[in-house]
Structures are given as C-alpha cells and as structure tokens.
Chains A and B, each alone.
Chain A
Amino acid sequence: MAGGIKKFVVGSFDDEAVLFPAVKNVRKAGYKIHDVYTPFPVHGLDHAMGLRETSLHTAGFIYAITGTTTALSFMSWVFTKDWPLNIGGKPHFAIPAWIPITFELTVLFSAVGMVLTFCYLCQLSPFVKKHHFHARATDDLFVMAVECTDKTNEADLQSFLQKSGAKEVNVQVAETGWWIGRYDREQKLYREEKGY
C-alpha cells in the first residue's frame, strides 16, 4: 500500500567508490538514509548502511525440511497404510527407493518458498508500482534518498551531498511503499491520482 507522503533529498552518484564514504558521512552527520538504489548489487553497501543480514536463507532451510518431511511422510503413508502395494514382494517401507522423490521435493519446496518469500518481502509483483527517485538508478547511477524531518535543513543537506560527491541533487516529495499501478502512466502521487 502507498505509505505516507514524505520529503526526500536525493543525491545521485556515478561511482560506487564515491558512494561508500558518502553513505558513511551522511550517517555520521545524523541524517536518516531512506534507501540507496543501485543498478547492480554493490557488495558491502548493506553493511555500510547499517542494514541487518537477511534471514531469507533460514526461511529456505525451513521450506526445505518441510519438503523432506512432506515427501517421506506421504510416501510412507501411501505405501504402508493407505494402499500397501505388493511390488515383487519387496518391503513396503522402501526408503532407498523414495530418496529421489524426497530430494526433488526438498529442492522444489525450498526454491518455490524462497522465491515467494523474496517477492513478498520486497513487495515484488506484476502491477505493483513504486516511486522511482531516478530513472537511471537501474542504469548507471547510485541514488541515495535521504529522508527529511522537521529539523532537516534541506539546503544544508543538499550542499552536504554535493560536497560528498553527488553529481545531481534534488528534493522530491514522494510516497514510500507501493500501490497498484502501471509504469506507462505518468508519475503522479498515488493520493493525487485518487483525489484524496
């Protein structure tokens, strides 16, 4: 859902080597970085921004063992209780023969679960629209959006970003969060569009 309307000072950098000290300085100066948008994964940027590690892989593990137990318990139930099929007089409880399917379901549950969790956490889905601070953030710019509070002096912050090496600096009023929308429509605030 569309979050609140906030004001941001946006600095765009063209080199990740300049971005790192800038992130450090902005944080040191007490400003709140809303997010940094980059065209590719910049290693260590999450640490520099003070983000915590993701636990997506833990979720993956949980999905995986769910798959394992689902497969094993289902096949055991079918072949020992529900319909014990006599296959050449071999044991009904045939663990070695079930390993391939157990393995496949482990992988399947884990992969599907992780991707869905990933999409949920990042709010990724067709027709989801979000505010983009700079169209070149997916091309060659590293875009830092700093949130303004009542106490923030915008002019100060702008010159601060410029001094830190930002190539472009501007102020944007934007909605955080996401809403149902289309990218071929003009960039407008969600609230304006709906006439709030």
Chain B
Amino acid sequence: MSLLKYESQLREPLVDGEKNYHQVTEDIISPIEMKPTRLWYIGFYISVGLLLFGAYSVYREVTYGIGQWNLNKTIGWGWDITNFVWWVGIGHAGTLISAILLLFRQGWRTGVNRAAEAMTIFAVMCAGQFPIWHMGRVWMAFFVLPYPNSRGPLWVNFNSPLLWDVFAISTYFTVSLLFWYSGLLPDLATVRDRAKTKLRKLLYGVASFGWTGSTKHWQRHESLSLVLAGLSTPLVLSVHTIVSFDFATSVVPGWHTTIFPPYFVAGAIFSGFAMVQTLLIVVRKVMGLQDYITLGHIEAMNKVIVLTGSIVGCAYLTELFIAWYGQNPYEWYAFSQNRANLFSPYGWSYWLMMFCNVVSPQLFWSRKLRRNITVTFFMSVVVNIGMWYERFVIIVTSIYRDFLPSSWSTYYSPSIWEIGFYLGTFGLFFTCFFLFAKYFPVIAVAEIKSILKTSGENYKAKMTDIEKSDSEKFYVEEVEHAH
C-alpha cells in the first residue's frame, strides 16, 4: 500500500538486509508454521493464569456487588475507570499508525502497523470490560442501547457523554477490527497458499475469504484502505475526545476544563506508542524481525513519544496556570491542595505522573538515546506507569474531597479484587497478543513488499549509484517503477 512514489536516498532503509519478495514472505510467515517455542508457552500460560484470576475477581464482583471494590460514596470511580481510560488510551496508537500515518505517507508505518492495530483491538476489548462490569447488574448492560422496549419506550439519553462513550468505543472497536482484518486478508492468503498441512490449509482458507490477489481486487482494496484511513483519522481523535467529555462536561473541580479533549488525545497517543514499543521490542527480538522493525522504526516512534509527551506536559502546566488564573477557589483548591501539594494524601501520585510523563521522555531529544533499545524499553514502561497515574490523578484527586467536607474520603486504596480485575485485563490482552503473534502475520507482508523496492536496503544501494551518476535518469526510473 505504499503511496510513496519517490524516496530520497538520504532516508534510512526501512527493510534491512538482502531481501527479495520471497525472502520477505519466508521471514514473516515461517514463525507461524513452526511449533511454538518454550518461551511462548511460558508467556501464554502466565497470561491465561492472569486472565483466570481476573475472571474470578469479576465473578466476586458480580456475585457480591461493587462493594467488593473499595469504592465509596465519595470515590465512585477509582481504579476501574482509571483502567478504562488507560486501556482506551493505549488503543489509540494502532489506528494512529495505520490511518494517520497512511494519510501522511509515512513509509515506516508498514513495519509496525499490523501489530499496533492488533494491540489496539485487544486494548479496546480490555477497556470495554471496565464500564460494563462497573454497571454492577451486568445482565442489564443492554439497557445502554437505544432499542424499542416495554418501558414506554423510554429511550437512552442522547445528550449524555456516557452514552456518547458507548457509541464512540463500539464504533472504534468495529472500525478498527474491519480495518485490521481487511488488511490481513491478503497475508492470510499467503499463509494458506504456503500451507503444507491440511488443517492449516482449511483454517487459513476459511480465514482468507478466498483471496486471490486479482488486480481488480487490489484496486478496490486500496480504495477501501484509503477511505477507512480517512474515516479512522477523525474517529481516533473523536474517541478520546468523547472519553474526556465524561469528565469535562461535569461540574467537578479538576474535571471541568475545556483543555481536556486535545490533552487526552495527546496523552492517548503518547501511552499508545509506549505500549507499541514495549511489545515490539520484545516481538522483534523473539521472532527475529530486526530487519523489518529496525532502529529507524524505534527512533521514529520515540520521536512521536517525545512530541506527545511534551504536549501533555504543556497541558499539565496550562491546566495548573488556568486553575490559578481563573480564581475559582474550588478549582484552585483541587489543583493546589489535592494535586500539587506533595504532602496531601495523593500528592505523591501527581508528582510521580509529572516525573514519568513530562520529565523522563525529554531524554529522547538525544538521538543516541532514541536509538538505544534498552533505554527505549525502560522508558516505554515508565511512560505507561505515568499515564496510568495521570488517569488516577484526574479521577481520584478530583473527587476524594468533594463539596461537603464531612464526606471527604481521605484515603482510598483498591481491594484485591479491584487489582485482580486489572491484572485480569492484562491477562486478556497478553493472551490475545500471544495468540496473534503465533497464528497471524505480525507484519503486513504485502505492504512490506510494496515498499521493498523503494526502501529496501539492497535496492537503495543499487539506486545510489544511478542517482549519483545521473540524477535525471534516476528520477525517470523511479517514476516509471512507480507506474
């Protein structure tokens, strides 16, 4: 799907090593055809274990009620909604990479988009768990849908941000899934056509929908991808905007701010990229995909991290300034006492967030550190911790001291089942991701092939000589090649 027609020789190659089309197929598809490694089994079983613990925690919550969590009248949203916003945020990088970077014609997206999109889908699945189980009487969950019912019909409140959320998250999940799967079809067909065993042929035959690679089908596929990218771009921005409306349209000091939508979107992209880094640094190493997810890819993502991290930092400072400048005593109290005061009950979480999200990503102004895998991995974890605390700070520090001091809840800490639920979503996420990494092409094979001759290392090397000797001829060749 390369929209690139001409690429400067100054640009770093996106595919390293001596590759041809067949080698690309071989490198990416052959891990699917091999038996899972021991490491895979260990990781998979740990994930399933976490998932089971999560399932038990949810079972307790459903059976005995929300009282299993340490929420109280004042702190009605604790870990649960923190986790929801955190997972949704993580789910933003995939669509950003596949849609926005497609529109911006960033060739490097081809190496990472497939895994990032998969991550998006799994993260949104995890996110969805929290509001659903938070309902308490989960068997009534379908009440959020506007369907003709015997209660009037009494419809849902279309003016409520919580309902907007229902539409936003479910649309986002559906569109991401369609985008991801339509991109997968040609690659699943590649697996099918290489399959030696009957079972694999059957399963991938079913999964690939009878894809042949016909030119007309590719033409439609390109059109579909482009339009889906165009639709997903505003969609990805809208989702976290709407999540931020859950807070911003309320009248709670600390939530009632107009800066929330852009600040949440930047934060979402920030944490999403951090999670992509965490996963892909492991995946490229374990599956030997260093030629496709190069240091250049990691550096590009780190650039996004330092940019969005700085936007988030600006937003924190703006918020603080406006709280003071606005001269609303409640607003200023929420910021100066509940958050910025290190010695207040939750002051530590505010400063931890500041350190993780604003100070630490500044390391990435240095090219050397951007290209250092250990530093990147460590930073990606730090950023995700920081972004979790951001949501915790926003939710808990804004509500634990409400307008009635007698109901102040000075210390809220989660119960084991609240933590268990969170760990359970990690289990869900990694179980899905392990299955994905084993049974699906983790890199978009067809897309890599389409950029191979403009951005492959060995092809670039060949082009360099032509460009040096006769730049006009080079240009003609490149353009001809593209048409």
Contact = CB atoms under 8 A, between A and B. Distances in A.
Interface of A: 17, 20, 35-47, 49, 51, 53-54, 56-57, 60, 64, 74-75, 78-79, 82-83, 85, 87, 90, 94, 97-98, 100-101, 103-105, 107-108, 110-112, 114-115, 118-119, 121-130, 132, 135-140, 178, 182-184
Contacts of A38: 213, 215, 218
Contacts of A49: 215
Of all A-B residue pairs in the complex, the 3 with the closest CB atoms, nearest first, are: A183-B205, A140-B21, A128-B210
B276 to A, nearest CB: 23
Interface in B198-240: 198-199, 201-202, 204-207, 209-224, 226-228, 231-232, 234-235, 238
B230 to A, nearest CB: 9
Contact of B216 (A35, A100, A114, A182): A35
Contacts, number: 214
Contact of A130 (B153, B199, B212): B212
A36 B213 CA distance: 8
A35 B185 contact: no
Interface stretch (B44-52, B121-129, B168-176, B315-323): B168-176
Given A60-B227, A83-B153, A123-B210, A182 B159 contact: no
Contact of A43 (B171, B192, B207, B482): B482
A46 B209 contact: no
Contacts of B167: 100-101, 104-105
A56 B205 contact: no
A111 B190 contact: no
B471 interface: no
Contact of B153 (A60, A82, A118, A135): A82
A184 B212 contact: no
A8 B42 CA distance: 51
A68 to B, nearest CB: 13
Contacts of A115: 178, 182, 224, 228
A107 B174 CA distance: 10
B146 interface: yes
A59 to B, nearest CB: 9
B481 A17 contact: yes
Given A45-B215, A49-B215, A128-B210, A122 B171 contact: no
A138 B449 CA distance: 11
A37 B182 contact: no
A78 B172 CA distance: 25
Contacts of B193: 132, 135-139
Contact of A100 (B168, B175, B189, B195): B168
Nearest to B176: A111
Nearest to A115: B178
Contacts of A64: 231
A100 B162 CA distance: 11
Contacts of A97: 158-159
Interface residues of B, number: 76
Q: Determine which residue in B155, B211, B219 has the highest number of CB atoms from chain A within 10 A of its CB, and name it.
A: B219
Interface of B: 1-2, 5, 20-22, 25, 146, 152-155, 157-159, 161, 163-164, 167-168, 171, 174-175, 178-179, 182, 185-186, 189-190, 192-195, 198-199, 201-202, 204-207, 209-224, 226-228, 231-232, 234-235, 238, 242, 245, 446-447, 449-450, 480-483
Given A17-B481, A140-B20, A184 B201 contact: yes
Contacts of B227: 56-57, 60, 110, 114
B228 A111 contact: yes
Q: Determine which residue in B217, B228, B446, B481 has the highest number of CB atoms from chain A within 10 A of its CB, and name it.
A: B217
Given A138-B192, A139-B193, 9 more contacts: A42-B215, A54-B216, A54-B220, A56-B223, A105-B167, A107-B234, A118-B220, A130-B212, A137-B212
Nearest to A139: B25
Nearest to A14: B21
Contact of B220 (A35, A44, A98, A122): A122
Nearest to A124: B209
Contacts of A125: 209-210
Contact of B206 (A44, A56, A78, A127): A127
A78 B212 contact: no
Contact of A57 (B2, B223, B446): B223
A128 B214 CA distance: 15
Nearest to A121: B220
A87 B216 contact: no
B185 A37 contact: no
Nearest to B451: A40
Nearest to A178: B210
